[in-house]
Each structure stands twice: as structure tokens, then as C-alpha cells.
């Protein structure tokens, strides 16, 4: 019922749910690629991250919601970025930092641009369709199971806050 009401509200007021669905491939921090298309049919929370930011503690919340909702279909993707000059020097350092300090098991991309001319095509597509572009680290984009942007949040909104989890829960199996 929540999904229907949410979709109806967005359809009436217009907005991101009217998009055609976003896709994209990212280089994985573990090697290989991560494809958003592989997660079609599941909600995906994509967060641009940085290891030396005042919001870095949010890695704990990202891992917490992954642990709580992964079996119901949620994918949480961390996208380390140095666009705000707060990321470590290379992907290996980022990976080690996240594993040692936060026990992160969520998928992570290699260090990726999320804004401006060098932004990854996914972020360019999000901006073109919704106007949303990360203004700082730990901005969150929730893709609905159909690949459309369901919601976005800024840095100050914790990933495990009720504002985020309530929307996520509306898309879970």
C-alpha cells in the first residue's frame, strides 16, 4: 500500500519517479565492475563517501542498514570520492580504512568523481533528470527497484534515520 501511495503522490506532483530508470557501471574497489543494472528489482542506496570527513561516522549507519535490510533486497553502495578533498590517496587505502575502522562489507566503488565535468555518468544522469548533485560528502540517492530516483538526502541526514529507512522500507520485499 505504501508503494502505491508513494508512487501516486510522485505521479501527481511530478518528479524523479517519472524518469526511465538509471543504470551505470562503476569500477569496484575490489577489482572488476559493479553494475547498477544487476540490482534492478531491488532498492539501491548510493552514497558518495570520504574517509576524512566529519560525516565519516555515517559508515556505521550504512553498514547497519545493510545488515538490517540486505536479506529483504536493499543494496547499499558506497562511492568514495575526493571531489571535496577529503578522501585518502588511493582505493587500497580507502578499502583498508573502511574495513579496519568500520568493518564495512557493503560494495564500494573505486574513487569516483560525483560532480562537475568529470562526474561519473551515473551522477551526470541523476543531475540531468532530477537536478540533484552532491554538494558535499555523504549525500544519499535511493533508487527504486525500477531504477528511478525515489529520494535524495543531504549529508546531515543519517543513513539509518527514520527519514531514510521509512522510504527504504516501502520498497522492500
Q: What is the DSSP letter of 169?
A: H
What is the b/e burial string over 130-153, where b = at least 16 CB atoms within 10 angstroms of the residue's CB?
A: bebbbebbbbbbbbbbbbbbbbbb
Read off the C-alpha cell for 4.
Answer: 502505491
Q: How far is CA 95 from CA 7, 107, 173, in A?
A: 37, 10, 30
- Which of the residues 53, 93, 125, 172 is marked catalytic? 53
Q: Where does 14-161 have alpha helices with state H?
A: 58-69, 91-102, 121-130
Is 9 annotated in the active site? no
Q: Which of 91, 77, 74 is nearest to 31 (CA)?
A: 91
Residue 27 to residues 17, 34, 78, 110, 120, Cα–Cα distance (Å): 27, 6, 12, 6, 11
User: Which DSSP state fits 31?
Assistant: S
In this structure, what DSSP letter does residue 164 have? H
Which residues are catalytically annotated? Answer: 53
Amino acid at each position: 500500500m505504501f508503494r502505491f501511495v508513494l508512487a501516486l503522490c510522485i505521479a501527481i506532483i511530478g518528479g524523479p519517479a517519472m524518469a526511465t530508470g538509471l543504470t551505470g557501471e562503476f569500477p569496484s574497489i575490489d577489482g572488476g565492475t559493479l553494475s547498477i543494472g544487476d540490482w534492478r528489482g531491488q532498492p539501491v542506496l548510493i552514497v558518495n563517501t570520504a574517509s576524512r570527513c566529519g560525516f565519516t561516522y555515517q559508515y556505521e549507519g550504512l553498514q547497519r542498514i545493510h545488515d538490517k535490510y540486505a536479506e529483504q533486497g536493499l543494496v547499499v553502495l558506497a562511492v568514495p570520492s575526493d571531489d571535496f578533498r577529503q578522501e585518502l590517496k588511493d582505493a587500497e587505502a580507502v578499502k583498508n580504512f573502511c574495513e579496519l575502522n568500520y568493518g564495512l562489507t557493503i560494495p564500494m566503488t573505486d574513487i569516483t568523481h560525483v560532480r562537475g565535468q568529470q562526474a561519473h555518468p551515473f551522477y551526470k544522469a541523476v543531475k540531468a533528470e532530477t537536478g540533484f548533485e552532491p554538494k558535499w560528502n555523504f549525500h544519499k540517492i535511493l533508487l527504486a527497484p525500477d531504477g528511478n530516483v525515489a529520494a535524495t538526502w543531504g549529508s546531515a541526514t543519517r543513513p539509518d534515520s527514520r527519514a531514510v529507512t521509512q522510504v527504504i522500507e516501502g520498497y522492500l520485499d
